[in-house]
Amino acid sequence: MQPLIITVAPTGAEVTPDQTPHLPYTAEALGETAAACRAAGAAMIHVHGRLADGRATQDVETFRAFMAAVRARCDLIVQFSTGGALGMTPEERAVALELGPEMATLTCGSVNFGDGVFENSFPIMRAILARMHEFGVVPELELFDLGHLDNARRLEREGALSFPRHVDIVLGVPGGAEGSVENLVDVVRRLPAGCTWSVAGIGRAQLQLAATAIAMGGHVRVGLEDNLYYAKGRLARNEELVARVARLAGELQRPVATPQEAREILGLRPRTGS
Ligand code: KMH
Ligand code: ZN
């Protein structure tokens, strides 16, 4: 099996600072969290922007400062969100790609998201992909529902996307595919040859699906964007969630990837300087 790539999604767009004292929503806090998660075993960081008061933003200058704060402290792969927050326009979501992060997410279809809708029509997906191509950003395909893989294959047939790709299977969003081992196995079984994959289990599904992915040879995403708790009633710090996955991998005799090993696995260029 490949070394395990652990991605941390430390902030997201929907979690608010009043829900947890551990949300790193400033550049300084994000940088410190990145360094702590790197030390705990993470290889990649999934970045959302926040304003000083904690509100979500996809603004270029915020992403510039957040990326610099991470890069000043560690060598994690920096992956930008293009999902942003519910209700943002596609242009707003994709504007910071001009900074050329190594990777960015592409959600492969619309999905109910709590009481709202996370909108990803084909025109939106094509526009975000075109911007990624323009700035040489490698997409990570986010699948929130079982038909999203079929949407990605349609984009491939159109020539907008090529496989194999790295795919993140997000399970347990209220409105998306349930966070079950059955759903994970179903999607993994249908992935095109050569794809690598990770699972992001939402809420209580995070731990069980992380353990399953380690055993299956996949990769894992954890963090407060997806799950606020370390255990019932006990709020988590991002680095604790990363460290627990790294320990589980150790018990299962699966090595944990450094960022440079993860770059090789994901076909990214080796990082030189900042
Ligand atoms: N905030 C969610 C509506 C992504 O980062 O690419 C979408 C999201 C996906 O978080
Ligand atoms: Zn996200």
Q: Assess whether pLDDT exceeds 90 at residue 195.
A: yes
- pLDDT single digits (tens) 114-159: 999 999 999 999 999 999 999 999 999 999 999 999 999 999 999 9
Q: How far is the C-alpha of 185 from the C-alpha of 188, rounded, in Å?
A: 5
Q: Are 113 and 86 in contact (CB under 8 A)?
A: yes
What percent of the chain lies above the pLDDT cut of 70? 99
Segment 71-116, tens digit of pLDDT: 999 999 999 999 999 999 999 999 999 999 999 999 999 999 999 9
Q: Is the CB of 7 under 6 A from ligand 1?
A: no
> Which residue owns the Cα nearest ligand 1 atom 4?
83
For a mutational test of ligand 1's pocket, the pick from 107, 140, 168, i.e. the residue with the most ligand atoms closer than 8 A to its C-beta, is 107
Stretch 253-269: mean pLDDT, rounded? 97
25 lines ligand 1 (CB under 6 A): no
**Nearest bound ligand to CA 9?**
2
Closest among 141, 134, 56 to 100, alpha carbons compared: 134
On whether the CB atoms of residues 48 and 14 are closer than 8 A, the answer is no
Atom of ligand 1 nearest to the CA of 82: 6
Q: What is the CATH number of domain 6-266?
A: 3.20.20.70
Backbone torsions φ then ψ of 77, nearest 5 degrees: -65, 130
Q: Distance between CA atoms of 20 and 4, rounded to whole angstroms?
A: 28
Q: How far is the CA of 49 from the centre of ligand 2 (A)?
A: 10
